[in-house]
Amino acid sequence: MSAVDLSQFHKTFFDESREGLDAMEAALLALDAGSADTELVHTIFRAAHSIKGGAATFGFTDVAAFTHVAESLLEEVRSGRRPVDAELTELLLRSVDCLRVMLDRSSSGQPVVDAASEDLRAELVRLVSGATAAVATPVTSAAANVTGWEIVFTALPHLLQTGNDPLRLFRELQQLGRLEVVRAFIVDAAPERLAEVDPTACYLGWVLHLHGNVARADVDAVFDWLDGDCELVIHPLAEPPVATVAGVLAAAEGSPSPLPLPLQRRRATDTAAGSKPESAAVSVEGSSIRVGIDKIDALINMMGELVITQSMLSEIGETFQPSQLTRLREGLVQLERNTRELQESVMRIRMLPIGSIFNRFPRLVHDLERKLGKRVKLELHGEHTELDKTVLEKIGDPLVHLVRNAIDHGLESPERRRAAGKSETGTLRLDAYHEGSNIVVQISDDGAGLNREAIIAKALHSGLINASQELGDADVAELIFQPGFSTAAAATDLSGRGVGMDVVRRNVRDLGGSVGVRSVSGKGSTFTIALPLTLAIIDGLVTAVGDERYIVPLISIVESLRLRSDSVRRIAGGGEVFHFRDAYLPILRLHQAFACADAVTDIERGIVVVVEEDGRRVGLLVDDLLGQQQAVVKSLEAHYRRVQGVSGATILSDGSVALIVDVGGVVRLGRPCKAA
């Protein structure tokens, strides 16, 4: 097994390093905000240290060399030889950025070092004081870092029964480097009395030191057959032991001696006595999908239920008699429930906390504050709210744009805020929460609000409106989302990146969501993004129109009602409207919009489904309501082409295909139709 593919470990290294950089950044920003917490410095140092170690191990010597200098600087801070000031945090933040770029280049195999990174490295070197100016070369730092591995290997009792012999493992390890068996121990699970000992079971564990420049991947490869047959803790020899039970136990029992010691029984109390606060691992949320164990447990649980139901059904099936029909029905109901629950659990695996996106913003706000001379207090709420992974990946850019906009256009300069009688520091608040089957993300600022006059002037200039139009506040707010409306004249390099609010809206709509704004002049603006919980499955109302079946997403439905023909009014232009909760709503005849034959045309015989999107309501005329169903959305574009007013297709329980109504599209389409 000499040819181990290292690249699979590279991915882990890159993921972990990026997480480390995120942790560094967060800690640096907290330091910059004036926190005197020494733990922050430790966090930064540890992150830099492990990136350096990993980079050296995997041969990314440029990354290792760069991190080494940064680490030297951090070491001075950690030991109190250098004070933390704005200049230092700024430099370190830039180093974090630079390292991100270097990691990206390393992962795509491009040359890692460029002029910018070299300049920054030189700057770091200059700052590192006196004697340390002679920076260690990457080669020596790599060699110094990896002196070997401590392996705490605890066999589970059934290890020998799988044909795996610990001696074989030791032999293999010996081929990698010099192996030292520091200690062997009996596990707690071992029987107290000799008579109870199962001769084929293994109750032993070993603390091993493997000396030499050995890649972690090689060590892991030795143990790759033993997944589930042993407990394994591996950490570099140069490092202090990590705070895992086995690691702590190993450390707690005194200095290692080179020869096998008499067997010692591990004690639970050692765990408590031996735990070292400084070795507590930093946990960071990251880019890779990590599924909570509770979700997995729920899945396994559900799977068990499904198996029970399946065996019950197949039992009925084998000796089926008509008298068992009730049991069969019950079984099928149970199967349906199991399937639905299983589906929900599986979908939950795709759900990730929005915090991973929110975490970008402290840095963004920090940079913008400096650049624009504004003072901003960022408040994050609801970071644990979970979103579908796909939604999460795509919502990042629109959110960044909204945050830039809020700071650039929304919040005023400290002078103007003081003049307006507000505190000099503006507040930017990000919220995420559940609302029905939506996730709502809000970006609110306490700035000046939308500038009505400027927006109208701009819209006139771009020909979006004409001077005679009467515009309410909502209409004005709506203007900023129009394609062609761009505040390019006022745009700085920050917000005017060629992305307008129309792109934000389009991105959100692509995800099946909606975006709107509320603004109070002088008090601030709130942008609200509503997103569906998951993309793939919607709750829908199945409706009949002629021979066709259409699914209307349940979240958009306000009410369904049967109208009397005298409650319908014709208006100029031939459209139909009806009175609904103090407003007149247009009626959209779905059979006309989608050209369905043999549909009900008499309004009294059909049913009107009132739907809402972006605060606008329309009544959809359908023949009948057939029931409620969860629909798995299949893309129409992938198989056919995009159709206005239709967001996708799904397969009904009888196997036929139904189209899913895109309520937003239909509402926009929603000019009142002529009566047939």
Partner 1 sequence: MRGMVAFTLRGAGHAVTEAENGLLALDVARGGAFDLVLADVNMPVMDGISMVRELRAMDAYRGVPILMLTTESHTEKKMEGKAAGATGWLVKPFDPEQLLATVKRVLG
Contacts with partner 1, residue ranges (CB under 8 A):
1-2, 160-165, 168, 171-172, 200, 224-225, 227-229
Task: Report whether 71 contacts 45 (CB < 8 A).
Answer: yes
Nearest one of 39, 48, 60, 59 to 19, comparing CA atoms: 48
Please tell me the distance from the alpha carbon of residue 218 to that of residue 197, in angstroms, as a whole number. Answer: 34
- Judged by CB, which is closer to partner 1: 21, or 173? 173
Name residue, tokens 């005329």: 621
Report in angstroms how near the CB of residue 9 gets to partner 1 at its nearest. 17
Cβ 162 to partner 1 shortest distance, Å? 5
Strands, E, within 270-425: which ranges? 351-353, 376-381, 386-388
* Shortest distance in whole angstroms from residue 200 CB to partner 1: 6
Burial class (CB in 10 A: 0-12, 13-18, 19+), 510: exposed
Q: Which is nearer to partner 1, 224 or 493 (CB)?
A: 224
* Helix (H/G/I), strand (E/B), else coil: 648: strand
Contacts of 10 (CB under 8 A, 6+ apart): 58, 107
Of 83, 87, 96, nearest to 27 (Cα)? Answer: 96
Min. distance of Cβ 164 from partner 1 in angstroms? 5
Q: Least distance to partner 1 from the beta carbon of 109, Å?
A: 24
- 576-580/568-570 β-pairing: antiparallel
CB of 202 to partner 1, least distance (A): 10
Between 200 and 269, CB nearer to partner 1: 200
Q: What is the DSSP string of 447-462?
A: S----HHHHHHHHHHT
CB of 171 vs partner 1, minimal distance in Å: 6
CB 527 within 8 A of CB 402: yes
> Whose Cβ is closer to partner 1: residue 168's or residue 267's?
168
Residue type for 575, please? G
Amino acid at 276: K
- Between 165 and 604, CB nearer to partner 1: 165
171 or 265: whose CB is closer to partner 1? 171
| Burial tier of 251 (Cβ tally within 10 Å: 0-12, 13-18, 19+) | buried
Nearer to partner 1, 8 or 255 (CB): 8
Of 222 and 233, which has the nearer Cβ to partner 1?
A: 222
The nearest distance, CB 195 to partner 1, in angstroms, is 20
Nearer to partner 1, 35 or 162 (CB): 162
Is the Cβ–Cβ distance between 387 and 439 less than 8 Å? yes
- Please say which residue, 2 or 269, places its beta carbon nearer to partner 1: 2
Residue 300 vs residues 284, 294, 336, 634: alpha-carbon distances, Å? 27, 10, 17, 27
Which amino acid would we find at residue 212?
G
Smallest distance from partner 1 to CB 154, Å: 18
174 burial type by CB count under 10 A (0-12 exposed, 13-18 middle, 19+ buried)? exposed
Q: What is the torsional sign of CA 361, 364, 365, 366? A: positive
CB of 172 to partner 1, least distance (A): 7
Minimal distance, residue 6 CB to partner 1, in Å: 17
Q: Is residue 282 packed enough to be buried (19+ CB in 10 Å), middle (13-18) or exposed (0-12)?
A: middle
- The one-letter amino acid code at 300 reads I
Find the shortest distance in angstroms from Cβ 229 to partner 1: 8
Residues 6+ apart with CB under 8 A from 222: 169, 172, 173, 176
Choice between 130 and 228, CB closer to partner 1:
228
Question: Measured on CA atoms in the order 79, 82, 84, 88, is the torsion positive or negative?
Answer: negative
Question: Phi, psi at residue 370, to the nearest 5°?
Answer: -65, -45
Tell me which H or E stretch contains 396: helix 389-405
Instruction: CB nearer to partner 1: give 10 or 158.
Output: 158
- Least distance from partner 1 to the Cβ atom of residue 224, Å: 8
Structure tokens at 613: 């999107």
Question: Nearer to partner 1 by C-beta: 60 or 223?
Answer: 223
Task: Name the CA radius of gyration of the chain, rounded.
Answer: 32
Q: Is 646 helix (H, G, I), strand (E, B) or coil?
A: strand
Residues 233, 499: Cα–Cα separation, whole Å = 49
Q: Which amino acid is at 209?
A: H
Of the pair 177, 672, the CB lying nearest partner 1 is at 177
Q: Is 232 helix (H, G, I), strand (E, B) or coil?
A: strand
Q: What is the Cα–Cα distance from 93 to 36, expressed in whole angstroms?
A: 17
Q: Which amino acid is at 354?
A: I
At its nearest, how many Å lie between partner 1 and the CB of residue 222? 9
CB of 168 to partner 1, least distance (A): 6
* 1 vs 289 by CB, closer to partner 1: 1
